[in-house]
Amino acid sequence: MTCAVERLNAQLLPERTQKPLQSFRIGLAQINPHLGDVSRNIQKHVDVIAQAETQAVDLLVFPELSLNGYFLEDLVSETAICLDDSRLEPLFEASQHMSLLFGMVEESADQRFYNSGVYLEAGQAHHVHRKVYLATYGMFDEGRYLAAGEHLRAFDTRFGRLGVLICEDFWHPSAVSVVHADGADLILGISSGPGRGVSGESQDLRSAQTWHNLNNLYARMFTNYVVYCNRVGYEDGVNFWGGSEVVGPDGAVIVRAPYFEETLVTAEISAAALRRQRSLLPLLRDERLDLTYRELRRIYRERYR
């Protein structure tokens, strides 16, 4: 019987091994970075980390470009940071006991500058996501100063498999789909989203409504946790509205930060809730990556031949 089982197993394709999502406490650090002042912003991060420690946070998330500020323009090259910069040591040290995700202008070895999200764990840079879709329209001018990233990847952590996307990446459903297909059970979105437009009689910010709708949609359709951390404050007369939130795999908002205020909010990520929703709505089980792959290849050949 043993030999028969071994022969049967040998005929099966190896199953992809993935650590299931673990339950843990996440913190969202909705801060107001100081434009171009990296050292001051690092100290702000250290202060919030100390606050998060008192709330038993396991993973602390900061907004897009939290070490630099957003409207940098010609300050990009002056404030860019390499990952081996000694000023980052307090953050690497803090990640020995609390995992961290923060945003910065990353300088590569060949002097290109990226809008990067850096995930630290156990004292190491565990994953770096370089923003793929640079906002270069309207009030945004990222493509003039920054290089675009070339990869969309999920990655393994002590909590399970996660994905990181930065602001404009979230506005491209294909980016979220790729990270989800790569096994991310929780998608971390970091943003420096300015407040724009007023929506109808409610007088709510149209940009805030859109972000909340996106987070809800992705959580429901991918049966994933979606974490969104947005900054607050003003730069060059532009306001950033905050509204950071954690959305469960059923689309329910678990926690949402207030608009326009620096704050730290926390939420419990539940492995049981993820399992329950995927049992009720088996979209992940029924996903046809083979079909998607074939059709995308066809569309690509037809469009670019």
Going residue by residue through the chain, which has 305 residues, state the pLDDT in tens, using 9 for 90 and above. Answer: 444 444 444 455 555 678 899 999 999 999 999 999 999 999 999 999 999 999 999 999 999 999 999 999 999 999 999 999 999 999 999 999 999 999 999 999 999 999 999 999 999 999 999 999 999 999 999 999 999 999 999 999 999 999 999 999 999 999 999 999 999 999 999 999 998 766 555 547 899 999 999 999 999 999 999 999 999 999 989 999 999 999 999 999 999 999 999 999 999 999 999 999 999 999 999 999 999 999 999 999 999 98
User: Is 3 inside any structural domain?
Assistant: no
Looking at residue 90, what is its pLDDT?
Answer: 98
Residue 14 in any domain: the answer is no
Look at residue 6 and tell me if it is in a domain.
no
pTM: 0.93
Residue pair 30/230 in contact (Cβ under 8 Å)? The answer is yes
Containing structural domain, residue 77: 23-304
| Strands (DSSP E) found in the chain | 24-30, 59-61, 99-107, 113-121, 124-130, 154-157, 160-166, 186-191, 198-199, 204-205, 225-230, 232-235, 238-241, 245-247, 253-256, 263-269
Q: Return the pLDDT at 305.
A: 84
Q: Does 2 fall in a domain?
A: no
pLDDT given at position 163: 98
pLDDT of residue 258: 97
Instruction: Classify residue 132: in a domain, yes or no.
Output: yes
Q: Is residue 13 part of a domain?
A: no
Task: Find, among 158, 146, 58, 157, the residue nearest to 103 by Cα.
Answer: 146
Is 94 contained in some domain? yes
pLDDT of the residue at 172: 98
SS3 at position 19: coil
Residue 197 lies in a domain: yes
- The number of folded domains in the chain is 1
pLDDT at 214: 97
Which CATH number does the domain housing residue 253 bear? Answer: 3.60.110.10
